[in-house]
């Protein structure tokens, strides 16, 4: 079971708690996790990554195991601790502004 | 007993203001979608409980929300706006070609007849339509594909398609306006479009009378006379008596003819309203006085409406989608400010009072007259 922590506005949109748990088929990557997340919560499509390019929205980041994974390729395996459910994948809204 | 429902989009959420036909006491419901920019909310004329809302965020992008119960509950619907075919380029601020990129939905215009059909005006400028209640969106690409498209340039606030007027007498005819390309009209339900900017003069563009490139801020019509259009251009208040084929200036005695909103009285097609703003570089009322101006002659002769509006130390702006008029008798006039006030007049503008004073900056105001 993969654990994903959503930022507050996306929890509201998904009507979920802060952490959601997902079954992911095959290798656990950013893409497979987001595919599973969007399949469970279709209203999140387009809010984390672009509908067409599938690129991460610029003000969102992906953290796990105290690392910033935002610039990892979408098909790169996520850390074992995420794949095993020991650690969550954190989707973070960047603190932007001045 | 009639009721009115005012739909207010702000920089940090949406609010629904309700009153009976007297329009004296108001219920304030909200915020909905707290923290999000709510560019526009509008109800279906065919089913007043069907509302559509444009919800935006720099973090999470664009969402479209739909309500089937007059705004009590909402559900997200489709937010996939993909340009038809290869998008190509338009002109960037520095004159270079720039790829068309979807940024946000500025305006939602439900069909006059079908609650499931709704148009969306987006930035970068294009017109989309949904025929399934907002689930799926298709571009009416004949507009952007008009030969002038590569020469369209964004205004300071972006290249938004901000006004959509549906002709109630002719379902084939739609008017739209883009900052800063101008006004366009289709006479075949959106397949083909042509610019209708003849008569406009804009000194801040290289060719002041160019076919496209005018910074039109808003256009308005009265449903009984869809061939008569009124326009608040960046500078100049204009009118056309032939569906946009030719425009003439009707700024008349306005203290400044810069502004954003323009709207038409519900029962008097020659009575129009604007809110003069000092200039494009200042975006504040003149002399700290918030004044609506009304013309009962279709322009040229204007009177200041000040009773109940702040006449000193007021420096708010009124944005292009932030005025609306109900259809009661006398008609109500509403507008919202960047300072978070929503003002209402229940007597066609003679007197004003704030419905609410301290909302986030107001982006849009629409009103529904309910039986």
DSSP of B7-39:
EEEETTEEEEEEEETT--S-EEEEEESTTSEEE
Contact at CB, A59 and B58, closer than 8 angstroms: yes
E strands in B58-167: 61-67, 75-76, 89-91, 97-99, 104-110, 118-123, 126-130, 138-139, 160-166
- The 10s digit of each residue's pLDDT in B132-178 is 999 999 999 999 988 899 999 998 889 999 999 999 999 999 999 99
Give the whole-angstrom CA distance, residue A49 versus residue A29. 14
Contact B189, B151 (CB under 8 A): no
Give the whole-angstrom CA distance, residue B261 versus residue B275. 6
Distances (CA, A) of B93 to B89, B106, B206: 13, 20, 13
Contact at CB, A60 and B79, closer than 8 angstroms: no
User: Which residue in B202, B175, B200 sits closest to B121, CA to CA?
Assistant: B175
Q: Which residues of B touch A57 (CB under 8 A)?
A: 59-61
Going by CATH, does the domain composed of A2-93 fall within 3.10.20.30? yes
Contact at CB, A45 and B79, closer than 8 angstroms: yes
User: Does A56 touch chain B if contact means CB atoms closer than 8 Å?
Assistant: no
Identity of the residue in A51, A60, A93 whose CB atom sits nearest the CB atom of B80: A51
Q: Which residues of A touch B80 (CB under 8 A)?
A: 45-46, 51
- Alpha carbon B69 to chain centroid, angstroms: 24
Contact at CB, A93 and B76, closer than 8 angstroms: no
User: Does B76 touch chain A if contact means CB atoms closer than 8 Å?
Assistant: yes
* HSE (side-chain half, CA atoms, 13 Å) at B44: 24
- The 10s digit of each residue's pLDDT in B263-283 is 999 999 999 999 999 999 999
Please indicate whether residue A51 or residue A95 has the higher confidence score (pLDDT): A51
Distances (CA, A) of B305 to B275, B291, B311, B349: 10, 6, 11, 6
Distances (CA, A) of B26 to B4, B322, B342: 10, 18, 11
Q: Quick check: A24 pLDDT over 90?
A: yes
Give the whole-angstrom CA distance, residue B293 versus residue B285. 12
Interface probe, candidates A43, A55, A61, A98, chain B, greatest B C-beta count within 10 A: A43
Q: Which are the contacts of B320, defined by CB distance < 8 A and separation ≥ 6?
A: B162, B163, B217, B218, B232, B260, B261
Q: Compute the nearest-CA separation of A13 from chain B (Å).
A: 8
In this prediction, the residues of chain B whose per-residue pLDDT falls under 50 are none
Contact at CB, A94 and B63, closer than 8 angstroms: no
Q: Which residues of A touch B76 (CB under 8 A)?
A: 13, 43
Closest residue of chain A to B102, computed from CA coordinates: A50
Q: Compute the nearest-CA separation of A64 from chain B (Å).
A: 19
Contact B39, B106 (CB under 8 A): yes
Q: Compute the nearest-CA separation of A18 from chain B (Å).
A: 17
- Alpha carbon A14 to chain centroid, angstroms: 13
- Tallying the residues shown for chain B, one arrives at 371
Q: Determine the pLDDT at residue B69.
A: 98
The greatest distance separating any two alpha carbons of chain A, rounded to the nearest whole angstrom, comes to 42
Q: Which residues of A touch B35 (CB under 8 A)?
A: 9
- Alpha carbon B248 to chain centroid, angstroms: 21
Q: Which are the contacts of B186, defined by CB distance < 8 A and separation ≥ 6?
A: B140, B142, B143, B172, B173, B174, B192, B193
Interface probe, candidates B33, B55, B56, B61, chain A, greatest A C-beta count within 10 A: B61
Give the whole-angstrom CA distance, residue A32 versus residue A53. 15
Pairing of strands A67-68, B3-10: unpaired
Q: Quick check: A96 pLDDT over 70?
A: no
Q: Compute the nearest-CA separation of A37 from chain B (Å).
A: 15
User: Does A45 touch chain B if contact means CB atoms closer than 8 Å?
Assistant: yes
Which alpha helices (DSSP H) does B79-238 contain, by range? none
- The 10s digit of each residue's pLDDT in A61-95 is 999 999 999 999 999 999 999 999 999 999 999 88
pTM: predicted TM-score of the whole model, two decimal places = 0.97
Give the whole-angstrom CA distance, residue B99 versus residue A58. 18
**Partners of residue B365 on adjacent β-strands:** B8
Q: Determine the pLDDT at residue B155.
A: 86
Pairing of strands B126-130, A2-5: unpaired
Burial class (CB within 10 angstroms; exposed 0-12, middle 13-18, buried 19+) of B212? buried
**Cβ atoms within 10 Å, residue B301:** 13
Q: Which residues of A touch B58 (CB under 8 A)?
A: 59, 96
Q: Determine the pLDDT at residue B41.
A: 98
Contact B3, B22 (CB under 8 A): no
User: Does A18 touch chain B if contact means CB atoms closer than 8 Å?
Assistant: no
Domain range summary for chain A, segments of one domain joined by +: 2-93
Identity of the residue in A43, A51, A93 whose CB atom sits nearest the CB atom of B76: A43
Distances (CA, A) of B333 to B13, B163, B305, B366: 22, 19, 12, 10
Q: Compute the nearest-CA separation of B135 from chain A (Å).
A: 11
Contact at CB, B63 and A48, closer than 8 angstroms: no
Q: Determine the pLDDT at residue A73.
A: 96
Q: Determine the pLDDT at residue B44.
A: 98
Q: What are the structural domains, with CATH classification, of chain B? A: 3-370 (2.130.10.10)
């Amino acid at each position: 079971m993969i654990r994903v922590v959503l930022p507050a506005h996306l929890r509201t949109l998904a009507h979920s708690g802060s952490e959601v748990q997902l079954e992911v088929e095959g290798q656990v990557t950013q893409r497979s996790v987001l595919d599973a997340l969007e399949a469970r919560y279709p209203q999140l499509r387009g809010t984390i990554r672009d509908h067409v390019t599938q690129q991460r929205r610029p003000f969102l980041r992906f953290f796990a195991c105290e690392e910033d994974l935002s610039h990892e390729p979408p098909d790169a395996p996520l850390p074992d601790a995420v794949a095993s459910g020991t650690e969550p994948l954190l989707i973070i809204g960047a603190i932007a502004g001045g | 007993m009639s009721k009115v429902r005012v739909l207010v989009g702000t920089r940090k959420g949406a609010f629904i203001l309700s009153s009976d036909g007297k329009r004296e006491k108001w219920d304030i419901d909200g915020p909905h979608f707290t923290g999000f920019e709510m560019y526009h909310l509008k109800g279906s004329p065919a089913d007043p409980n069907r509302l559509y809302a444009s919800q935006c965020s720099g973090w999470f992008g664009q969402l479209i929300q739909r309500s089937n119960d007059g705004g009590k509950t909402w559900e997200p619907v489709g937010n996939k706006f993909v340009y038809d075919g290869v998008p190509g380029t338009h002109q960037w601020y520095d004159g270079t070609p720039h790829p068309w990129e979807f940024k946000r939905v500025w305006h939602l215009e439900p069909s006059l007849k079908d609650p499931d059909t709704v148009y969306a005006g987006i930035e970068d400028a294009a017109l989309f339509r949904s025929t399934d209640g907002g689930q799926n969106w298709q571009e009416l690409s004949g507009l952007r594909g008009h030969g002038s498209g590569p020469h369209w340039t964004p205004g300071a606030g972006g290249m938004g398609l901000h006004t959509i007027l549906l002709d109630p007498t002719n379902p084939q005819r739609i008017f739209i306006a883009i900052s800063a390309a101008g006004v366009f009209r289709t006479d075949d339900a959106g397949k083909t479009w042509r610019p209708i900017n003849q008569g406009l003069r804009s000194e801040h563009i290289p060719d002041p009378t160019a076919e496209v490139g005018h910074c039109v801020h808003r256009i308005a019509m009265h449903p009984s006379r869809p061939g008569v259009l009124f326009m608040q251009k960046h500078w100049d208040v204009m009118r056309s008596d032939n569906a946009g084929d030719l425009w003439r200036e009707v700024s008349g005695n306005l203290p400044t003819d810069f502004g954003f909103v323009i709207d038409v009285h519900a029962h008097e097609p020659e009575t129009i309203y604007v809110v003069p703003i000092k200039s494009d570089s200042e975006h504040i009322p003149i002399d700290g006085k918030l004044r609506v101006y009304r013309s009962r002659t279709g322009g040229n002769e204007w009177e200041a409406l000040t009773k109940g509006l702040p006449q000193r130390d007021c420096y708010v702006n009124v944005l292009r989608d932030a005025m609306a008029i109900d259809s009661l008798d006398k008609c109500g006039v509403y507008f919202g400010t960047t300072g978070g006030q929503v003002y209402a007049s229940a007597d066609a503008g003679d007197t004003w009072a704030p419905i609410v004073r301290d909302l986030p900056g107001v982006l849009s105001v629409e009103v529904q007259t309910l039986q």
